[in-house]
Structure 1
């Protein structure tokens, strides 16, 4: 993967309600806030296939590993609190996949529907583009109309649908994949 410096992000971006929102690179100190956001989805939804809460230490390690791989992990802040995060991770381990990444975005449940996700995810896409990556792949546990709409608003196209590949909360779950070519 080319060694490219991450892009400079604007210090403050407006959300739909015109409250200031800061998008910045995440660091290990954000692990507790990120784990709190994520663990809500682990415990209450099928959006993630993880079944057990993620500890702050494990989340810190995930952030550190992502950054060490020269991939972006961003957080959105509003009012001094982390309101969401997005990151890129390796799509597959084989060398030929090195220009393709999987994208992930999660918001504090109280921040959904306010435009935070769109601004945060767009910033992630630009950070991936700045690293000369070629393809971004977003996996979505189905049904999830809000996530589908977000991906498609940002130019992703559905490329795959796997039936009943996950089992959580006593039911089988389909997964769809949406892809965006950056070049």
Structure 2
């Protein structure tokens, strides 16, 4: 478990896109998500669903639904969290995860990735550092490509992704309708490993664990 120091401010209602101010210095730790993190993860995600168009979901999943999504990774796809670093009762401040990109078998070397940060903790670089850990982990597992689907416009997410090695691959127009308007989606792609022939099967996250380089 790697720990880094970040500035934190007094808690307030999470709001996507909010910047964090300066305050007390706290210790941030990254670790694999646990089943008992599901409620905290659902709470972080809910404002992204209910406010704005970052997520195309229209109803925020509850803790039980989030736990099911985490369990569906079946030990292959990583779910990571950033916490306040306390050994007991740590608070989840951000999470990042990977899922299969598409159902058909030929896509199994490619993952779709996402990262979400609680509103008061945004703007500190925590999400970027956690996302890099996710990318390092996926690279160590042997996946070949990572893809992120971003609703547009979203300068915050684009900046984060391009800072962690993603590049714009294309845009699909008017793909979702939410909050009274049509929304474009962009595809950002990150090359994780060389596309060898034949490709090696990716290792399970349970075999590799959380990886952080540099």
TM-score (normalised: structure 1) = 0.90
Of 140, 144, 157 in structure 1, the residue corresponding to residue 150 of structure 2 is 140
**Which aligned segments of 4 or more residues in structure 1 are displaced greater than 2 angstroms?**
13-19
Cα displacement (A) at 1:69: 4.6
String of CA shifts for 1:7-64, please: whole Å, max 9, x gaps.
Answer: xxx4313347763211100011001000001011111110000001201100010011
Structure-2 separation of matches of 1:154 and 1:46: 22
Structure-2 separation of matches of 1:69 and 1:163: 35
Please state whether the residue corresponding to 2:165 is helix, strand or coil: coil
Matched, 1:161 2:171: yes
Q: Which residue of 2 aligns with 1:41?
A: 48
Question: In the comparison of the two structures, how many residue pairs are matched?
Answer: 173
Of 56, 65, 71 in structure 2, the residue corresponding to residue 64 of structure 1 is 71
String of CA shifts for 1:73-99, please: whole Å, max 9, x gaps.
Answer: 000001521001000000011111111
Structure-1 separation of matches of 2:137 and 2:146: 11
Q: Which has the larger radius of gyration?
A: 2
Structure-2 separation of matches of 1:138 and 1:149: 13
Q: Is the 8 A contact 1:15 1:119 kept in 2?
A: no
TM-score (normalised: structure 2) = 0.78
Of 130, 152, 159 in structure 2, the residue corresponding to residue 149 of structure 1 is 159
Of 93, 99, 103 in structure 1, the residue corresponding to residue 109 of structure 2 is 99
Of 114, 123, 137 in structure 1, the residue corresponding to residue 124 of structure 2 is 114
Q: Which residue of 1 aligns with 2:84?
A: 78
Q: Which residue of 2 aligns with 1:12?
A: 3
Please state whether the residue corresponding to 1:12 is helix, strand or coil: strand
- How big is the alpha-carbon RMSD for the aligned residues of Structure 1 and Structure 2? 1.4
Structure 2 unpaired stretches of 5+? 9-24, 194-214
The structure carrying a bigger helix percent of its residues is: 1
String of CA shifts for 1:87-114, please: whole Å, max 9, x gaps.
Answer: 0000011111111000010010111101
Q: Is the 8 A contact 1:16 1:115 kept in 2?
A: no
